[in-house]
């Protein structure tokens, strides 16, 4: 439903399931994202990303370090994306200097997705992160609701990452469409 509504990137995040189940789900998502010409990222797990032919991996501050991920790929990334979660401007600068392809920045708003979230940065903090990141795309993360989309786009975010705003509503297609709307009218 999210893909049908305009989502063009899916991140598979599963910290609880056994590896065989993760592989099965990630492969199913790979097929689904290909059908919609969308990007598939795997959260935290470079090996799983390679196994299912994902488009990249997203790493948190406590996961595999960026330099180690780049080294593990042997310098031959061939378009394999590496994104990094960032929560302050020092982390933004380090991730950009280290060669991250994109940054997740936040939480922009209070979030219930994480048990111990980092401090809320707000839209002004997001705008500062976008400015600090320069040409590196920044994705707004944390507590994102569909009604935030225009403000996040206006702050300079290249995209927004939402979980509850899509998964906990009846009209998932409509929610995804509303969330994606500010970014869907870019000039090619």
Per-residue model confidence as pLDDT tens for the chain (188 residues): 999 999 999 999 998 999 999 999 999 999 999 999 999 999 999 999 999 999 999 999 999 999 999 999 886 778 899 999 999 999 999 999 999 999 999 999 998 777 777 899 999 999 999 999 999 999 999 999 999 999 999 999 999 999 999 999 999 999 999 999 999 865 44
The torsion angle over the Cα atoms of residues 137, 117, 171 and 27, rounded to 10 degrees, is 70
Catalytic residues: 13, 85, 114
What is the value of pTM for the model shown? 0.92
At 160 the three-state DSSP class reads strand
Give the H or E element holding residue 39: strand 39-43
Per-residue pLDDT at 187: 41
At 40 the three-state DSSP class reads strand
φ/ψ of 119, rounded to 5, equals -60, 145
Per-residue pLDDT at 124: 98
Per-residue pLDDT at 78: 82
Largest CA distance in the chain: 44
Q: What one-character DSSP code corresponds to residue 138? A: E
């Amino acid at each position: 439903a999210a893909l049908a509504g305009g989502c063009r990137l899916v991140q598979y995040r599963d910290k609880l399931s056994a590896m065989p189940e993760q592989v099965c789900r990630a492969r199913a998502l790979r097929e689904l994202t290909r059908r919609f010409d969308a990007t598939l990222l795997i959260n935290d797990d470079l090996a799983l990303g390679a196994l299912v032919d994902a488009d990249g991996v997203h790493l948190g501050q406590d996961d595999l370090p960026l330099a180690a991920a780049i080294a593990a790929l042997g310098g031959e990334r061939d378009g394999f994306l590496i994104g990094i979660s960032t929560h302050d401007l020092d982390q933004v600068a380090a991730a950009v200097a280290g060669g991250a392809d994109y940054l997740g920045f936040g939480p922009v708003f209070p979030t219930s997705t994480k048990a111990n979230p980092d401090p809320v940065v707000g839209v002004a903090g997001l705008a500062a992160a976008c400015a600090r990141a320069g040409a590196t795309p920044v994705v707004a993360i944390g507590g994102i609701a569909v009604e935030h989309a225009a403000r996040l786009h206006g702050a300079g975010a290249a995209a927004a990452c939402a979980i509850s705003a899509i998964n906990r509503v009846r009209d998932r297609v409509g929610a995804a469409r509303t969330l994606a709307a500010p970014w869907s009218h870019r000039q090619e």
